[in-house]
Amino acid sequence: MKRLYDIAVIGAGIGGLTAGAILAKKGYSVAVLEAGRAPGGYCTTFRRQGFTFDSCLDAVSGWGEDGWLRRIFRKLGIEKNVEMARLDPLRVDNFAGDKVNVPGTIPELINLLYGIAPGEKDGILNLLDTMEEIYRAAMSTPPEVLYAYPGIKGVIGKYREKTYKELLDEFITSPKVRAVMCDRCAFLGLPPSKVSALAMTIMFMTYSSGGGYRINGGACNLTNALVKALLENGGELHLNTPVSDIMIEDGKACGVFVAGGTIRAGAVIYAADAEAMFRMSGTEPGRNRPSISFYMVYLGLKGAPEIPDSMGYYPGYDIESTFADVARDVAGPFASLEIINYSRLSPAMAPDGHVSVMLMSKAEYSYSRPWNECRDYEAEKLLSLAEKAIPGITESVVFRETATPLTLEKYTGNLRGAAFGWEQNVSNERVSPRTRLSGLFFAGHWTYPGGGIESVAASGLAAAESAAAAINKEAFN
Ligand SMILES: Cc1cc2nc3c(=O)[nH]c(=O)nc-3n(C[C@H](O)[C@H](O)[C@H](O)COP(=O)(O)OP(=O)(O)OC[C@H]3O[C@@H](n4cnc5c(N)ncnc54)[C@H](O)[C@@H]3O)c2cc1C
Nearest CA-CA partner of 243 in 219, 223, 205, 269: 269
| CATH H superfamily, domain 4-83+217-289+421-470 | FAD/NAD(P)-binding domain (3.50.50.60)
Please say whether the beta carbons of 419 and 189 come within 8 A: yes
Residue nearest to atom 1 of ligand 1 (CA): 56
Of 44, 56, 190, 441, best ligand 1 pocket probe by most atoms within 8 Å of the beta carbon: 56
What is the pLDDT, as a whole number, of residue 477?
Answer: 39
What average pLDDT does this structure show over 280-286? 75
Whole-number Å distance, alpha carbon 197 to ligand 1 midpoint, is 23
| Whether residue 476 has pLDDT greater than 50 | no
Mean pLDDT score of the chain: 94
pLDDT digits (tens, 9 = 90+) for 174-200: 999 999 999 999 999 999 999 999 999
| Whether residue 398 has pLDDT greater than 60 | yes
What is the pLDDT, as a whole number, of residue 138?
Answer: 92
Residue nearest to atom 18 of ligand 1 (CA): 452
The pLDDT > 90 percentage for the chain reads 85
Pick 107 or 477 by higher pLDDT.
Answer: 107
What average pLDDT does this structure show over 363-373? 92
Q: Is the CB of 453 under 6 A from ligand 1?
A: yes
Whole-number Å distance, alpha carbon 41 to ligand 1 midpoint, is 4
Q: Is the CB of 15 under 6 A from ligand 1?
A: yes
What is the pLDDT, as a whole number, of residue 472?
Answer: 67
| Whether residue 381 has pLDDT greater than 60 | yes
What is the pLDDT, as a whole number, of residue 286?
Answer: 63
Q: Is the CB of 271 under 6 A from ligand 1?
A: yes
Q: Is the CB of 463 under 6 A from ligand 1?
A: no
Whole-number Å distance, alpha carbon 97 to ligand 1 midpoint, is 33
pLDDT confidence tier of residue 285, bands split at 50, 70 and 90: low
pLDDT digits (tens, 9 = 90+) for 403-413: 999 999 999 99
Whole-number Å distance, alpha carbon 144 to ligand 1 midpoint, is 20
Architecture of domain 101-210: Orthogonal Bundle (1.10)
Residue nearest to atom 46 of ligand 1 (CA): 412
Of 54, 57, 61, 183, best ligand 1 pocket probe by most atoms within 8 Å of the beta carbon: 57
Whole-number Å distance, alpha carbon 48 to ligand 1 midpoint, is 21
Instruction: Give the nearest ligand 1 atom to 445 CA.
Output: 26
Q: Is the CB of 100 under 6 A from ligand 1?
A: no
pLDDT confidence tier of residue 475, bands split at 50, 70 and 90: very low
Instruction: Give the nearest ligand 1 atom to 243 CA.
Output: 42
pLDDT digits (tens, 9 = 90+) for 117-155: 999 999 999 999 999 999 999 988 888 888 888 888 899
Instruction: Give the nearest ligand 1 atom to 417 CA.
Output: 53
What is the pLDDT, as a whole number, of residue 474?
Answer: 38
The residues, ordered by sequence, that sit 6+ positions from 31 with a Cβ below 8 Å of its Cβ are 1, 2, 5, 7, 8, 9, 235, 236, 237, 238, 263, 265
Compute and round to an integer the Cα radius of gyration of the chain.
22
pLDDT digits (tens, 9 = 90+) for 11-50: 999 999 999 999 999 999 999 999 999 999 999 999 999 9
pLDDT digits (tens, 9 = 90+) for 328-351: 888 888 899 999 999 999 999 999
pLDDT digits (tens, 9 = 90+) for 224-265: 999 999 999 999 999 999 999 999 999 899 999 999 899 999
Pick 234 or 65 by higher pLDDT.
Answer: 234
pLDDT digits (tens, 9 = 90+) for 151-175: 888 999 999 999 999 999 999 999 9
Q: Is the CB of 67 under 6 A from ligand 1?
A: no
What average pLDDT does this structure show over 414-426? 94
pTM of the model: 0.96
pLDDT digits (tens, 9 = 90+) for 299-330: 999 999 999 999 999 999 999 999 988 888 88
Whole-number Å distance, alpha carbon 56 to ligand 1 midpoint, is 9
Whole-number Å distance, alpha carbon 177 to ligand 1 midpoint, is 32
What is the pLDDT, as a whole number, of residue 67?
Answer: 93
What is the pLDDT, as a whole number, of residue 445?
Answer: 97
